[in-house]
Amino acid sequence: MSFPENFVWGAAAASYQIEGNTGEGTGVTSIWDEFCRQPDIIFDKSSGAVACDHFHRYADDVQLMVALGLKAYRLSFSWARIMPDGENVSEPGMAFYDKLIDELLAGHITPYVTLYHWDMPHALQLKGGYLNREIVRYFEKYVEAVAKRFSQRVKHWVTVNEPINYICCGYWTGSHAPGWKLPIRDVLHGWHHALLCHGAAVKILRRYGDAGTQIGAAITGWGYIPADENNSADIEAARRKNFECEKFRSIAGWADPMIFGAYPDSWYKFWGKDTPKVDPADMKMIAQKLDYFGTNIYFAHTCRATGDGRMELVNPPINTPRSAANWPITPAAMRWLPTFYFERYKLPVIILENGICDAEFPDREGRVHDACRVNHMHLYLGELRKAIESGVDIRGYFHWSLLDNFEWIEGYTRRFGLIHVDHKTQKRTPKDSAQVYREIIRSNGAIVAGESGMAGERGA
């Protein structure tokens, strides 16, 4: 069975992870450039200063996308490249994205542009970053500049990517840029300011867009699926668990303000006196109209009802397969999570990221066999098709990622790409999974395997 007509098949990447041409000597310094300079932060002591050198190789990379048959490509604009000082537009930065967008359109590939994928100008971090409410004004200037320049060519926008991660990991645990470890009260103010940036961005994009403009955000959290899919109590337990606020793990703490204009009650209950005072005008700004619910899905935790109205987490079975990143492989996440999100938020769903980290490398003939990724693709897409068959309005799927790239604090030690990159020579080698994905796109998902996933070996 094929996927719906006009289903969007894409792949994704992020500016700091692939572009390179950052850091000293380029006029571009983001919070990740600075973070990578700290000793013993990045696992292999690397950085995104060169990454996949996409800044210079973008035209060839777009031709690889064309060969893949991609219908869409999710990229991100680097705020630091476009406004290195946080105030003034860099024409060379803008010109790079001009050329990239034109190249995509010439290849009949629809650009989906993410406005913030974690690379804030370092100059703005020195002013407090998301702790400073003025960050909203700076973000507005940036968004207005890109909307004015690109809105006639770019119709699909993602305002922010995984705010749960850049606020939690950046300001609380310190494991991501800028690497701060702050009291929770300060972090929650950053949370609120990040949401205000999202709302301000939507408002500006609407002003410069037209009837064809589509806007969403890439929202993620800890997902939960039922232990017994035939047990209504387990299903309800998982549904409730997905929208409870517990630390930074909840989807609802981000999506509810964006869509309903209010933080969920459980957000106030969990954080108590540390929650910031919320102005109703702020919530009105945050809750701008969205066209779709964007989400990144990799795995989920399993949840079951206990019989007393409560729920408990279930440890994965001993033989649960895991990726090279030690993430459990839970294909059912791709059916249940979009179902729960669609039920609650009543918006079409787009999977903006999904993929697997593996440890493959070229064989003696230079080929890259990644059977795990091939099977993962079939298993997850098979579950996504079940969600669609059950009535969930799912409009698209973006594989993470197009290229093996700089994987944040893991450096170059983790590979998610459909295309292998030798980071010494920058040689690109499409993997077996790239060929399989091309056939999936060509058939509009008709060749996606069943529950066993074994049909994935057809293209391996």
Identify which has the larger pLDDT, 151 or 460.
Answer: 151
Q: Residue 235: which of 390, 382, 118, 128 has the closest Cα?
A: 390
Give the active site residue among 103, 162, 244, 360: 162
- Cα–Cα distance for residue pair 405/412, rounded to 1 Å: 7
Q: Indicate if 162 belongs to the active site.
A: yes
Task: Name 415's bridge partners.
Answer: 358
Positive or negative: CA dihedral 139, 140, 142, 143:
positive
- Non-local CB neighbours of 193 within 8 Å, separated by 6+ positions: 130, 131, 132, 133, 135, 136
Nearest one of 90, 91, 69 to 80, comparing CA atoms: 90
All structural domains of the chain: 8-459 (3.20.20.80)
Catalytic residue among 353, 360, 383, 407: 353
The string of DSSP letters for 65-120 reads HHHHT-SEEEEE--HHHH-TTSSS--HHHHHHHHHHHHHHHHTT-EEEEEEESS--
The mean of the pLDDT values for the chain is 95
Residue 429: pLDDT over 80? yes
19 is catalytic: no
| 193-231 residue pLDDT tens | 999 999 999 999 999 999 999 999 999 999 999 999 999
User: In which element (H, E) is residue 355 found?
Assistant: none
Model confidence band, residue 309 (pLDDT cutoffs 50, 70, 90):
confident
Q: Comparing 60-64, 198-202, 285-289, 357-361, which segment has the lowest mean pLDDT?
A: 357-361
Residue-wise pLDDT tens digits, 155-181: 999 999 999 999 999 999 999 999 999
Q: Average pLDDT, stretch 350-373?
A: 96
- The H or E element that residue 421 is part of is strand 419-421
> What Å distances lie between residue 166 and 93, 106, 175, CA to CA?
23, 34, 9
Choose among 297, 315, 292: nearest CA to 380. Answer: 297
**Distance from C-alpha of 34 to C-alpha of 41, rounded to nearest angstrom:** 11
pTM over 0.85: yes
